Amino acid sequence: MTREQGAIAQRFCGYVISAVLFALVAGELVTAGEKPGGDAFVQNQKLGRGVNIIGYDPLWRSRDQARFKVGYFQMLKDAGFSNVRINLHPFRGMDQSNDYGVPASWWETLDWAVTNALKSDLMVILDLHEFGAMGTDPETNKPKFLAFWRQASERFRAAPDNVLFEILNEPSRKLSAEMWNQYLAEALVIIRETNPTRTVIIGPAGYNAIGQLPQLKLPEDDRHIIVTVHYYSPMDFTHQGAPWAGRQDKVGVEWQGTAEEKAAIERDFARAQTWAKEHNRPLFLGEFGVYDKAPMDSRVRYLTFVVGTAQKLGWSWAYWQFDSDFILYDVKAEKWIEPVRDALTGQTNRLTK
């Protein structure tokens, strides 16, 4: 064998080894969960309890500025959570001049989050959280919306079924119910080209409100869909002290867990459950929570009751949110807000009884 032939053979062997290693890694990734295509009801049960994470974390600008640390994934798992809903804001890096391509650095950050969540045996929801842009100007932002799902679908086509896609958080305002039904159908077609049986999460217009479920139109033949709703009622309690909600001076509102207060939540959830049974769709409570200005004892009572009611109905859920406001974990102090954690994981005293 000549030196040139030897070099060619060496390069060929290198290609083969790289291909084999890639196949082994890909196989390990897929078997970490199951191959894409799990039954939506089974998937929903696997989701169980979850937390919304890193939507507004500076790690998207620079990993050096990250508040969320890699060890937090296992910490969440150890605390009793089984899913993370990753709130995604890719639009700021997308531009028509490059066919709305998402920057490579942004994808690398998302890959880091997905990989480490899966290593900790957490289900992962990729939640397109661009409801602000889509609600303000849906027609202008529609190309970004569809381009994102074209790219994300391709990138995660071989991911295990522990990775779920959520088409858009809280479609609302100028993105009407009629328009949203059209947009979600177009996005779903794109996703199904590469992920024919991937579990997809979709909620109604009007901020994913329970009362808007009758307006939601889904393809009857696609049974790999989980329907999501959000719940923050009563707003005067859950958003007290929140300046963006116009309640910065409205604090001290209690939730005592009276029969009337409980009945209001049960009625709302019953409406959603009735719709879900009529349409044979599982339900995911993708957001709920209480702003951290509320009295702690009331927060605990409310969260314990909401979680207990959702779980009795067979819903999965994700608390809003890990860090920042509605706080579950104090990053600066490196400690749980223990009463909130315990209310969510069932470890608290049953104050609702």
DSSP 180: H
**CA distances (Å), origin 258, targets 265, 279, 301, 352:** 11, 32, 10, 9
pTM of the prediction? Answer: 0.89
Percent of the chain with pLDDT over 90: 87
Taken in order 200, 204, 206, 209, the sign of the CA dihedral is negative
User: Which tens digit of pLDDT belongs to each residue from 193-225?
Assistant: 999 999 999 999 999 999 999 999 999 999 999
Q: What is the mean pLDDT of residues 264-272?
A: 98
User: Which tens digit of pLDDT belongs to each residue from 44-73?
Assistant: 999 999 999 999 999 999 999 999 999 999
How many Å apart are CA 134 and CA 180, to the nearest integer? 10
Q: What pLDDT band is residue 38 in, cutting at 50, 70 and 90?
A: confident
Which phi and psi angles does 80 have, rounded to 5°?
110, 10
**CA distances (Å), origin 17, targets 9, 23, 31, 187:** 12, 10, 21, 37
Under 8 Å CB-to-CB from 241, ≥6 apart: which residues?
247, 248, 250, 251, 291, 292, 293, 294
Which phi and psi angles does 316 have, rounded to 5°?
-90, 170
Which phi and psi angles does 126 have, rounded to 5°?
-90, 100
The confidence score (pLDDT) of residue 348 equals: 58
Nearest to 86 by CA among 31, 156, 180: 156
Q: State yes or no: pLDDT of 3 exceeds 70.
A: no
User: Which tens digit of pLDDT belongs to each residue from 223-254?
Assistant: 999 999 999 999 999 999 999 999 999 999 99
Enumerate long-range contacts of 185-192, CB under 8 Å, 24 or more apart. Answer: 185/217, 185/219, 186/146, 187/145, 187/146, 187/149, 188/219, 188/222, 190/146, 190/149, 190/150, 190/153, 191/149, 191/153, 191/165, 191/167, 192/222
How many Å apart are CA 156 and CA 39, to the nearest integer? 19
β-pairing, 49-53 vs 329-330, is unpaired
User: Which tens digit of pLDDT belongs to each residue from 120-147?
Assistant: 999 999 999 999 999 999 999 999 999 9
The confidence score (pLDDT) of residue 17 equals: 32
Which phi and psi angles does 330 have, rounded to 5°?
-90, 105
What count of other Cβ atoms lies within 10 Å of the Cβ of residue 249? 8
Q: What is the DSSP string of 239-254?
A: TTT-GGGT-TT-----
